[in-house]
Amino acid sequence: MKRIQFKIILFTLFILTSSLLYSDNAKIKYFQVEDCYSYQIRLLNLALDKTRIEYGDAEAVPVNTKIPEERGLQLLEKGKSVM
């Protein structure tokens, strides 16, 4: 369970940092929209708020397509966007 949470947080931070490097008004897409991920989503929004001055505006946007966690990790490893 801890390993899965670590992967999710790592995935989120990777998306956050890579997206902020390419745009002043980045949209950070995430696919973990179930209630069990509410902490990670709040953490993502907090990170976006805390880094707004240094990196510019960014918005966390949920992806409505169901993507299994393993598929999301594969997309991350290949450097592809979730959607």
Can you tell me the distance from the alpha carbon of 23 to that of 81, in angstroms, rounded to the nearest whole number? 15
* pLDDT at residue 72, as a whole number: 77
**pLDDT higher than 60, residue 20:** no
pLDDT at residue number 82 = 59
Tell me the per-residue pLDDT of 28-79, one tens digit each, with 9 for 90 and over: 777 777 888 889 889 889 988 998 888 888 888 888 778 887 887 787 777 7
15 is a domain residue: yes
Distance, CA of 64 to chain centre: 14
DSSP 34: S
**Full domain range(s) for residue 28:** 2-78
Q: For residues 34, 80, 42 and 36, what is the CA-based torsion angle, rounded to 10 degrees?
A: 20
83 within some domain = no
Answer whether residue 13 is part of any domain.
Answer: yes
Q: Is pLDDT at 18 greater than 70 in this prediction?
A: no
Can you read off the two tokens belonging to residue 30?
A: 């995430």
Task: Please provide residue 82's backbone torsions phi and psi, each rounded to the nearest 5 degrees.
Answer: -65, -40
Q: Indicate whether 21 pLDDT > 70.
A: no
